[in-house]
């Protein structure tokens, strides 16, 4: 991915900060275009940090073993000492076997002091920053004012740039093709784990992604709860629900969509539920366009389902999605969400209904908001299997 620190710089004034620190693995990668290895593995902010000011070239701080991989043309790069013991050829030739031990925090404080920013308004990711590290930083910068800018990074990531859109399309296609293979192979008597194995092996063939850790198939009572694929055998009475996607490796971006399929002898009431949810979903998709409010989009789907099923309750019917660590990100398709759809947003639009201890549904697609409408990014995997068509002809008569 290309570095995107310019977007953060353009937003800093509105958030009232002089400095923005990218200290989570996701936002360090967003700003720098590079995923820090130890930072990603440990989620420890002592391993990597990006310092962004309003105009100047940003500074990246990383471990001495890793900073040679950073973009030295676009960023100022500082290395802190690690247990690895890296030495340059010059240091070896001149017998410079020892050098001052500098931590990431030492470099961070020194850089801010050198730039006259140690007493400024500093934006930090308080939603994810460990208390212990924030305490150390506060002690070292006692005159600074710290502002939580976690929401600024999320806001910056809402509108996708061209390279992000292309990577999303690649990842979503991998997931869509893998789930479509399951759709062509699913049979009663298979287990949830069987379906997951087919899906995950197909994803692995891409060599570009791996199944998201929460991806799962649930059937019957397992479809009505959040959980992982189990050895449960799929029966004729079940709804089989998939919810999940793929992760883009160290590029962080993730996907999220769902399908729910009816087996051969389900309760007719479940057929009515699926038909209603599909109708609500279609209404929402057909309404997608820049300028439509999230509230109005929510009520298009919610009110359609509520009219037939007065017990229906749902906090949102979709969400933005980007790099995580959470999958569902603001803005949400919700009655409480301010704002409107904009070109360049990638959203997961979903119409779920979960019945604890019985069965459950989620009808979900990923879409790109375009200049005049939307592009469906998950077109391959059917919402209705050929074996289900008998149900819908009966319902429509």
281 with 216: CB under 8 angstroms? Answer: no
> Looking at residues 169-175, what average pLDDT do you find?
96
Whole-model pTM: value is 0.92
Percent above pLDDT 90 for the chain = 87
Which listed CATH number (3.40.350.10, 3.60.20.10, 1.20.120.1200, 1.10.10.10) goes with 5-156?
3.40.350.10
Domain with CATH 3.40.350.10 in the chain: 5-156
How many whole angstroms from its chain centre is CA 248? 10
pLDDT of 396 over the 50 cut: no
Cα torsion 179, 160, 314, 301 to 10°: value is: -80
d(CA 195, CA 26): 30
d(CA 367, CA 389): 25
pLDDT at position 96, please?
60
Q: How confident is the model at residue 155 (pLDDT cuts 50, 70, 90)?
A: very high
Domain with CATH 3.90.230.10 in the chain: 162-396
For the domain bounded by 162-396, which CATH number is listed?
Answer: 3.90.230.10
Q: Which two tokens stand for residue 301?
A: 């789907």
pLDDT of 98 over the 70 cut: no
Q: Are strands 145-148 and 210-211 parallel, antiparallel or unpaired?
A: unpaired
């Amino acid at each position: 991915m290309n570095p995107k620190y310019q977007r953060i710089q353009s937003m800093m004034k509105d958030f009232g900060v002089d400095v923005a620190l990218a200290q989570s693995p996701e936002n360090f990668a967003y700003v720098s275009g590079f995923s820090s290895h130890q930072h990603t593995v440990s989620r420890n902010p002592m391993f990597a940090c990006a310092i962004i000011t309003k105009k100047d070239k940003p500074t990246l701080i990383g471990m001495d073993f890793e900073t040679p991989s950073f973009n030295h043309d676009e960023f100022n790069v500082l290395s802190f000492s690690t247990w690895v013991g890296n030495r340059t050829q010059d240091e070896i030739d001149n017998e410079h076997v020892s050098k001052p031990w500098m931590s990431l925090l030492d470099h961070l404080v020194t850089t801010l002091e050198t730039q006259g920013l140690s007493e400024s308004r500093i934006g930090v990711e308080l939603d994810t920053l460990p208390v212990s590290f924030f305490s150390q930083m506060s002690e070292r910068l006692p005159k600074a004012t710290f502002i939580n800018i976690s929401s600024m990074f999320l806001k910056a990531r809402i509108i996708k740039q061209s390279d992000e859109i292309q990577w999303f399309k690649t990842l979503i296609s991998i997931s869509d093709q893998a789930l479509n293979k399951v759709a062509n192979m699913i049979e009663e008597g298979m287990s949830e784990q069987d379906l997951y194995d087919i899906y995950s092996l197909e994803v692995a063939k891409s060599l570009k992604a791996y199944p998201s850790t929460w991806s799962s198939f649930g059937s019957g009572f397992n479809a009505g709860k959040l959980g992982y694929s189990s050895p449960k055998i799929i029966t004729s009475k079940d709804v089989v629900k998939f919810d999940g996607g793929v992760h883009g490796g160290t590029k962080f971006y993730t996907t999220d969509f769902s399908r729910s399929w009816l087996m051969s002898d389900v309760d007719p009431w479940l057929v009515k539920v699926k038909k209603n949810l599909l109708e609500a979903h279609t209404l929402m998709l057909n309404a997608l366009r820049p300028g439509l409010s999230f509230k109005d989009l929510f009520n298009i789907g919610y009110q359609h389902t509520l009219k037939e099923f007065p017990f229906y309750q749902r906090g949102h019917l979709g969400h933005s999605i980007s790099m995580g660590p959470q999958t569902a990100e603001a803005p949400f398709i919700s009655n409480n969400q301010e704002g409107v759809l904009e070109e360049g947003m990638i959203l997961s639009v979903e119409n779920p209904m979960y019945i604890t201890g019985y069965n459950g549904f989620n009808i979900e697609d990923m879409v790109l908001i375009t200049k005049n409408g939307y592009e469906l990014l998950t077109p391959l995997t059917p919402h209705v299997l050929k074996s289900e068509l008998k149900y819908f002809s009966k319902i429509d008569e």
